[in-house]
Amino acid sequence: MNKILNINLGGYALTIDDDAYEYLSAYLDSIRRRFSESEGRDEIMHDIESRLGELITNGLGNRTIVMLPDVEAAVQVMGKPEDFGGEPVEKPGASGKKTFRPGKKLFRDEEDAVIGGVCSGLTAYFGMQETIWMRLIFILLALISFGFWVPAYLLLWILVPPARTAAERLAMRGETANVENIAREIEQGFERLSKKVNEFGSQAAGSSAGRTTANIAGGCLTVFGKLVLGFIIFVAVMMVFGLGTAWVAGIWAFFTAQPYVSYFSPLSTGGTYIAFFNAFFLIGIPVVGLVLWLGRTIFRFKSPAWLGSGLSIFWVLNFISLLLLGSWAARSYGHGGSVSRSVDLGGINTDTLRVEWAEKGQPGEYDYWFTEDDGFYIGGKGLKVKEMIRINVRRSESGRFECTQTVHARGVSGAEAEENAAQTGFTLDFDGRTLRVPRGYEIREGNKWRGQEVKITIGVPEGKSIVFGRGINHRVYDADYADPDNDYYINNYSGKVYRMTGRGLVCSDCPRFGDPQYQGGRYYEKFILEGNFSTEIIEDDDFSIEFDGPQNERNDVESIRTSENLTLTTRGKTLSGQLRCVIRTPVFTSLFAENTGPVTIRGFEEGEAFISAKGNSRIKGYLDSRTLNLTMNGKCNVELIGKGDYLNANLSEGAELEASGWRANRAEISASDGSRAKLNVDDDARVKTDASSTVKVDGTARVRQGDEE
């Protein structure tokens, strides 16, 4: 008959019989004597006891009492005392043996961690020799997935436990957690493990609240710092790839652009190459610096101490050199100058001047240079630059067509700038009807590009017209238009005839404002209507306006367009009432109608809208608006159908409002001078009337009179 004892073995609570207890005690005593001279003996014993407790607990199965065979099986795994220099332990009797297979487990290796130790743990788990390859895999996955692999790292950091004890570190590498290996693991990293065991022990023993709080705060700061470091590493890797790509692209671009350098660079050939190499190192050295920092942080690579300071000094020298060369080069663009000449258009034999690009093979196009997409071209005759041409159209004061060509350039001085402009090759061609414009100008061999621009000013006499062909109309940057709010600009429409009037250019064959074909380049959302004509304002994706009715009455309606406002007025002229206007617009925010014909507003959903009616105006509104403000004066009538949150209405001088079909949550209405209103309100209505006016409120709202609260 054996006694039963309750013990704590390395944190495991066990119920054990006396034979097993004696054998276990003798085993532990033998180990304790073996490592009595070791600096980490306490930690060794703690880990060995924890490992023994784990092995015995796992071997019990459904049993609750530890017996001698269970202890012997655990000792078999841990190693006998004589295996590591201890004294043999006598067994109380023969017993069977159990075997335990050491299993490899996934842990985070915080001792070799850059951020959380995930890559180091995976390296050990998969049996890789160098952590660098696992870290490279993670970096590549993060780059390929555009950062979406980063959450996977964070998830592993959260879910995978760290290897804190010697047994866990051995299990992480798939090594047997026996006495010899545990002792070796602890003795090799005693200082590292001692600090962590002490921290763990102080918390487990129930240290003071202040110290525990400090440990928790310190742990949070550590995790936050690791996250920040990880973000910085990711950004640094992206910068290396970005700057490296720019670096390589810059080198390729420079050597590809060799034929252009002599035209563009204000420096000598040697100075240009020095400036290029300065720029090369200004970009390259930061890339190398980032690579070295990543090597030290991620891969534990240690660069020579002199390398960082040497690269910094070299970068500063290149910066100073490039700054000096840039200052010298800037002198070549310090002053501007222009050269102008007139082009004789006196032989024109028509009232309409056509302006076209000079096509290939025609006069004015030098030698078939420029394809549709070329910006510039260098051939045997020099550099040819496209698109640097601006055309202005003005009213001619001389009564005949005029054309002036001006070339502007830069230089060290004003005189040099004018010389550069004069040497720029650009020739207009005129055949009596058509002015042909080259698609670009030429910098002849031996000259330099100094920001040349060509400006062509064409004067059109009053009563004459001008037409721009396809493509060249985009080069018209400024023109005198009769209507500043004109929607048909030359640079938007090619092939249109523009006639010069006393007020400026007018498009002769463009749809007028109000024609069925008219499509404005802008839309209006605020409308002012004055006159006896009917109007429909309809919600649509695009803006358009169309008049339907007698032509003479259409001519009597004047349109005034400013910013978001569109005014249609007859200026007091009497109409028959047959004229109808249809306005389509994406947005409606306000309407002012005075003595106008019937007005219909249809299909809008707005946040806030304003309607003002005066005189004999009749308005029907089919719209939803969160806030709708009404002002009504005179014998006008407004009918509303829709819904909204708030209705604010002011009626006077006999106005009538029919809003029972417009469901509001809240309303405030003021009526005077014989006005009448009917509302439909759900929540709250404040009504203010005089003795001659009536306001009826349907719905479930609480109605308050005047200033009643």
pLDDT, position 89: 54
pLDDT, position 694: 94
Tell me the C-alpha distance between 667 and 228, whole Å: 55
Q: Is the pTM of this model over 0.75?
A: no
Distances (CA, A) of 313 to 309, 505, 530: 6, 64, 77
Contact by Cβ (8 Å): 527, 609: no
Tell me the C-alpha distance between 81 and 88, whole Å: 6
pLDDT, position 289: 73
Pairing, β 580-585 against β 534-539: parallel
Structure tokens at 104: 């490899």
Tell me the C-alpha distance between 63 and 98, whole Å: 15
Selection from 622, 538, 529, 612 nearest residue 582 by Cα: 538
Query: Would you give the distance in Å from CA 594 to the centre of its chain?
Result: 48
Classify residue 121 by burial, with Cβ atoms within 10 Å: 0-12, 13-18, 19+.
buried
pLDDT, position 361: 46
Distances (CA, A) of 475 to 345, 388, 393, 437, 664: 20, 9, 11, 11, 54
Residues with pLDDT less than 50, the chain? 85-86, 93-102, 193-194, 196-215, 361-373
pLDDT, position 574: 84
Contact by Cβ (8 Å): 392, 479: yes
pLDDT, position 100: 41
Strand partners, 652: 633
Pairing, β 590-594 against β 526-530: parallel
